[in-house]
Structure 1
């Protein structure tokens, strides 16, 4: 029997959200549970296959959210074409797009249907650890908009089930089990106190396998994520060359859509031990674009003295760096 309350499970394809989905179905019946996957367009192929596996195994339908930036891209094209600004920015660079840069950007600034790529084309750059607009625009905003539409159009109370555990990170250590977010809108985190072993046990007890990425990459999420470590990049490059080929192609397109003419997927990590302006643009982009990153990742261990001449005083960025993770449990785990 259907309830007046709709229970939405934020599904990432990772272990925690999968266990949360199974608990929700056990308690409420699958007819009262709606799994929702926010598709960035930068997911690993194994994750897409795993969602289909869950649908077939559980007899459910997963709603897939894909943001559309066509309208924003059209406005950006108009802005670039009409840009007549005078003066310079705080770095002393001209604010107006040059005619050469306009022609280059307008040639590629078109919607592709891939949310991640379209957002980066719109921004003229890739997300960084200081400007992580991918999580905000592609996961959180898309999901909240969907929930709001259910509340407003269907006039139903919504409970969002989140696969969030307190021992995952400091950011989540104070997560509440249930939280009122607004009128007719609640968050529920049934596994908030669970250790990781119990999560995998729950999946196995239901006769299911976890996402196979845990056997190869060790985690589920964007492929690659901007927080990828040296080990992550090495594993990705070894598991599927199509992923690094895709990043190379994206760097070319986003670079052409930018005012500077260059873009690097891992720019925010400063893997070469330098920031923009500390070395020539040619050296900086060569070190940070995907082929330079693959060269760096091929070296064992964290940052070493010989890594592109990195000075030890700059610190290290090994395989224990920060990890991406939405507070809503939408980004994999």
Structure 2
């Protein structure tokens, strides 16, 4: 029987900071880092994982689903995943994780999985263990590390934030349904091929009797119209101005007080395995 320590990376800020934190505070642990690759991730995610791998000096194991998004889309009769039916998380993130660990757990290994839920995220829970030999640990919550602390860890390490934080609030698939409309606009501008792929999935779903759209209330065709893009950008700018007029600048942390998408639109109840 072995005891193993595993830490999942999403390509996002919090899980990267947790990997750095554990490497610095518990160098005695033989940590196994992993990334569950849906094949639909942002290019910036892969770039950041490569930098993180170099910093850690350890490999990040890629867990690739045995069946891709297109296979599962067919299984679900062309019904796209949504906030209410998150089959993408179940099939492309959780299932590969369990397939990777369950044989070892069943053979008697005891495994601790480290999850990057921060101290200021009391509303969130981590992956609920469904195996008696699997324990979930929340080091940030135990140490009282919040969002500002996470940013400090990454800045001090020299890694900084993933570059997609310049235009998007979280990692995950390029067509994640948790994106705000301004993020869809930015995806169209920065990665038009990914936007077009999302648009094709939407049209395919409609042809098969599923009228669901990635963005609430309108199709990507409608969202991409120049007049609609201008309207979305104008609305976003108004949100920024309103938020800036209400906020108090912290003189001790002037550079860490930038407004993020979640600050402007509210915190989405996102999937932790994708977005941490």
* TM-score above 0.5, yes or no: yes
Deviations 1:98-119 (A, max 9, x none): xxxxxxxxxxxxxxxxx22332
Map Cα deviations across residues 285-321 of structure 1 (whole Å, 9 max, x no partner): xxx2x2123234542328xxxxxxxxxxxxxxxx626
* 2:70 aligned with 1:117: yes
SS at match of 2:274: coil
Name the residue aligned to 1:135. Answer: 89
> Residues 226 and 134 (structure 1 numbering): CA distance in 2 closer, same or farther, change over 3 Å?
same
- The 3 A distance-change label for structure 1 pair 143 and 325 is farther
Name the structure 1 match of 2:139: 190
- CA shift at 1:235, angstroms? 1.8
Alignment of 1:323 with 2:240, yes or no, is: no
Is the 2:66–2:96 Cα contact (8 Å) retained in structure 1? no
Match of 2:231 in 1: 299
Q: CA offset at residue 264 of structure 1?
A: 5.2
**RMSD between superposed Cα atoms in Å:** 2.9
Q: 1:160: Cα distance to partner?
A: 0.1
What 5-or-longer segments of structure 1 have no aligned partner?
A: 70-114, 273-287, 303-318
Q: TM-score, normalised by structure 1?
A: 0.64
Residues 1:133 and 1:30: Cα distance change in structure 2 (over 3 Å): farther
TM-score normalized by structure 2?
A: 0.76
Q: Aligned in 2, Cα 1:38/1:216: closer, same or farther, shift over 3 Å?
A: same
| Mapped partners of 2:45, 2:28: distance in 1 | 21
Q: What does residue range 31-50 of structure 1 map to in structure 2 within 5 Å?
A: 32-50=30-48
Query: 2:19 aligns to what?
Result: 21
**1:271 to 1:22, Cα distance in 2 relative to 1, 3 A:** same
SS of alignment partner, residue 54 of structure 1:
helix
Contact kept? 1:227, 1:321, Cα under 8 Å: no
CA deviations 1:19-68 (Å, max 9, x no partner) are 11112222443871111111122211110121122122322111112222
The partner residue of 2:54 within 53, 56, 65 is 56
Q: Mark the runs of 5 or more structure 2 residues left unpaired by the alignment.
A: 237-263
Q: Say if 2:36 and 2:64, in contact at 8 Å, map to a contact too.
A: yes
Pick closer, same or farther for the CA change 1:182–1:248 going to 2, 3 Å: closer
Q: Note if contact 1:13-1:47 (Cα within 8 Å) is conserved in structure 2.
A: yes
Q: Which has the larger radius of gyration?
A: 1
Q: Answer whether contact 1:180 1:186 (CA < 8 A) is retained.
A: yes
Q: 1:298 to 1:244 in 2, by over 3 A?
A: farther
Q: Does 1:245 align with 2:165?
A: no
Equivalenced residue count is: 242
| Deviation beyond 6 Å, 4+ runs, structure 1 | none
